[in-house]
Amino acid sequence: MRYRIRHTTTYQYLEPVAVSHNVVHLAPRDSATQRCLRHELTVSPGPAVSHERRDYFGNRVGSFTVQDHHRELVVRATSEVEMRTLAAPDADATPAWEEVRDRLRVGTTPGGFLPLGPEEFLHDSPLVPTAVELAAYAAPSFTPGRPLLAAAIDLNHRIHADFAYASGATSVTTTLAEVLERRVGVCQDFAQVLIGCMRSLGLPAVYVSGYLETVPPPGVERLVGADASHAWAAVHCPGVAGTHGDGWVHLDPTNDCLPAERHITVAIGRDFSDVSPIKGMILGGGAHRVAVAVDVIPMAGR
């Protein structure tokens, strides 16, 4: 399966911007299940300085500075990826969750999905603090001796059932505690609830940002720009291949599924703050509007 992804972000400013410096996570990662065949980032007005590097988590990170005065900034990322699916492991054959928790207390071996060990994703992060309330919410899924993946899949299902999806219901200032209390949010919130539950039980979990191919209902024309960025989580199951060939099993609570070839990974981190698609600083500008258009397009020969 191959996809072409177009992600366009347009900023319009009330007053001229003198300088704009931005950092982007828009280039898909390579893994056992996906390969980035092409990635191009274009910026208008053209940047005076641009650079790409790998961050702490192995993500491709772009940065650029625009020094021409402007009232509009357009950032367009175009990528092509090749996807393949690995069979999900037998959830009931995975180790008991307490066994995994206890093993991590004395160290373990890094997995191939990440350049870091699972221990890196056990602790509080800026947007996902551990909490007794999160552990309590997870408890009905994580009964004594239950296989880790079976418990995690059950938690994934419960979040999907218990939380309502509502675009605009949360913002960058909404806390995880508020999401847990209100039971409403978007994909980023649901991923972070799952991550917070896992970490509050002493189990590692990773935030995954990316894209999801959406399929319109029969007879409905596909709308250009109607797709969106997506987010889900990955949990560590030592000793199993995982859905990405490395002991990490991806879970999507928004759609109550194990991500497969329609889920395209861009970046991973502790939470959304590590992998924001675009963030930056400007000098000037005043009030502004932002518009985002995303297309995930299956390519011929899929």
> At 239, which helix (H) or strand (E)?
none
**What does 20-74 look like in DSSP terms, one character per residue?**
EEEEE--SPPP-SSEEEEEEEEEEESPPSEEEEEE-TTS-EEEEEEE-S-EEEEE
For residue 289, give the CATH number of its domain: 2.60.40.2250
Q: Residue 143: which of 128, 129, 158 has the closest Cα? A: 158
CATH of the domain at 267: 3.10.620.30
* Residues 75 and 98 grouped into a single domain: no
Query: Which pLDDT score, from 0 to 100, does residue 241 have?
Result: 66
Question: Do 260 and 290 belong to one domain?
Answer: no
25 and 162, same domain (yes or no): no
Per-residue pLDDT at 109: 46
Q: Which amino acid is at 225?
A: G
Residues 179 and 40 in one domain: no
Q: Which domain holds residue 58?
A: 2-83+276-298
Q: Cβ neighbours of residue 94 under 8 Å, at least 6 residues apart?
A: 147, 148, 149, 150, 237, 239, 240
> How confident is the model at residue 98, as a pLDDT?
97
Asked if 215 and 145 sit in the same domain, the reply is yes
In this structure, the answer to whether residues 253 and 128 fall within a common structural domain is yes
pLDDT at 32: 87
**Are residues 53 and 117 both part of a single domain?**
no
Are 129 and 221 members of one domain?
A: yes
Same domain, 74 and 101: no
Question: What would the two tokens of residue 164 be?
Answer: 């309502």
* Cβ pair 27, 39 in contact under 8 A: yes
Q: Do residues 69 and 202 both lie within one domain?
A: no
Output the pLDDT for position 219.
72
Q: What is the tens place of the pLDDT at every residue in 181-210?
A: 999 999 999 999 999 999 999 999 999 999
Low-confidence ranges of the chain (pLDDT < 70): 106-115, 221-226, 241-246, 301-302
* Residue 110 confidence (pLDDT): 46
Tokens of 231: 């987010």
